[in-house]
Amino acid sequence: MTQDQAKQIFEKILTGSSADALRISINDGKTSNVRFARNTVTTSGTAQDTSISITATFGKRTGSYSVNQFDEKTLTEAVKKAEELARLAPEDPEYMPPLEPQTYLPIHAQSPDTEKFSPDSRASIAKECVGMAGEKSLVAAGFVEQGKNFAMIGNNKGLFAARDSTNISYSVTARTKDGTGSGWAGGGHTDVTKLESSSISKRAIEKGIASMNPGEVSPGKYTVILEAEAVSNLLGTFGFRMDARSADEGRSYFSEKGGANKLGMQVFPEFVNLTSDPADPDAPGAPWGEDGMPTRKTAWIENGVVKNLRYSRFWAQKQGKEPVPAPANLILRGGNASLEDLISSTEKGILVTRFWYIRDVDPMSMLMTGLTRDGTFWIENGKIVRPVKNFRFNESPVAMLKNIQLMSKPVRIQNGPFANLIPALKVKEFTFSSLSDAV
């Protein structure tokens, strides 16, 4: 869908509504993929979907209705349904009126090379990996997905914005035939020319070979080298947990006694800096968030101090603050070390490739639990000396940030349709609670 087409649909819906407020969003996405497993391609396909969501409001009563067709009859019926639902709905005590026209950051998140990436090109990534795995007697499974998305928002108060974006991602797991070793690697980018698929395949295969026949290390607290993927696994929802309302209501780590929060407090070491920037060329984010609020470059933690918390429009009004939108991405400023430097500086410790099956344990401390996976290794005298069995961990990203000893340069980590810039970390006193026989 083009912006002109979306504008025509938008105007058609507006003229057919009698609601006090009307909000319209359109999402048009096309994704193409190839999947391989057991060293052979298993599926290949393309999916395309367009959805239109119409939200009508009378007073403080709101109703929403969605369709995926945009002929005149369907759109007229959709507006009618949204208005009927609004009249039936109870009043929303936290209702906020629609935003007037906003100014959004110019964000470059589209690549013609990614859009034109062909089925043969996707298959060539799989073919190369399968060949490399076969030469090393490993079994590879992976997924290559490219996508193009168009998004639009608008309302009857003059707000209108649209954006195009592209993305490609690739991940692969390489396992030994005896099932004792497994390696993983992955990556993604807006621009396919910056996706280093050969390096991703090679890393997964090397880890698969190196992780064969792991030994046991007793659970406990260890110095760990967390690769950037593992750090991102723990920080994935951190930005959304930096929420003023949950803090003010005493429901989060950022709460203080008496209904206060940790804004302005030195919580982390001075070298910890966490920001978001939707216009960052290496990890572009969406130009708008909830209600159409413009996203912006935001310092969340600056030199260890909590500088910002997310304020929804309702909570900002209630507290007499300015609204602060949720982060469009997460950027953890790193250091100048390499992953190899982190390893070589460690007398005894554990290298973690990534985590999986992560679940919350305690929101007040942000304690999480989960498992290591696809490459866990024992480090001694600055060298990786042997693979070890996987662990269950019980740890908080708060403790992780407080216990950083060394950081690498940040790299792009794909997180679904979004991306973060995250360094690998050397962290002391990381808690492993038990062993796991899973590979």
Which H or E run contains 304? none
Residue 244 pLDDT level (bands cut at 50, 70, 90): very high
Is the CB of residue 317 less than 8 Å from the CB of residue 395? no
Tokens representing 396?
Answer: 């908080």
Phi, psi torsion values for 213, nearest 5 degrees: 50, 65
CB 154 within 8 A of CB 161: yes
Rounded CA gap, 345 and 64, in Å? 56
3-state SS, 173-237, equals EEEECCCCCEEEEEEEECCHHHCCHHHHHHHHHHHHHHCCCCECCCCEEEEEEECHHHHHHHHCC
CA distance 347 to 428: 12
Selection from 160, 180, 205 nearest residue 7 by Cα: 160
Backbone phi, psi, residue 69, to 5°: -130, 155
Q: Which two tokens stand for residue 245?
A: 């309302």
Give yes or no for residue 77 having a pLDDT over 90: yes
**Which tens digit of pLDDT belongs to each residue from 270-292?**
999 999 999 999 999 999 998 99
d(CA 243, CA 389): 37
417 pLDDT exceeds 70? no
The confidence score (pLDDT) of residue 416 equals 66
Provide mean pLDDT across the span 411-429: 90
Q: Look at residue 165 and tell me whether its pLDDT is greater than 70.
A: yes
Query: Each residue of 214-242: pLDDT tens digit?
Result: 999 999 999 999 999 999 999 988 988 99
End-to-end, the C-alpha distance of the chain in Å comes to 44
Is the pLDDT at 36 greater than 90, yes or no?
A: yes
CA distances for 53 relative to 26, 27, 77, 217, angstroms: 6, 9, 13, 53
**153 to each of 20, 65, 289, 327, 344, how far by Cα in Å?**
17, 15, 10, 18, 50
Tokens linked to 437: 């026989």
Q: Which of 351, 328, 342 is nearest to 409 (CA)?
A: 342
What average pLDDT score do residues 250-259 get?
95
What is the number of residues in the chain?
439
Query: What sign results for the dihedral spanned by CA atoms 37, 39, 43, 44?
Result: positive
Q: What is the overall mean pLDDT for the chain?
A: 96
For the chain, helix, strand, coil in percent to 5 are 25, 40, 30
Q: Dihedral of CA 331/334/336/337: which sign?
A: negative
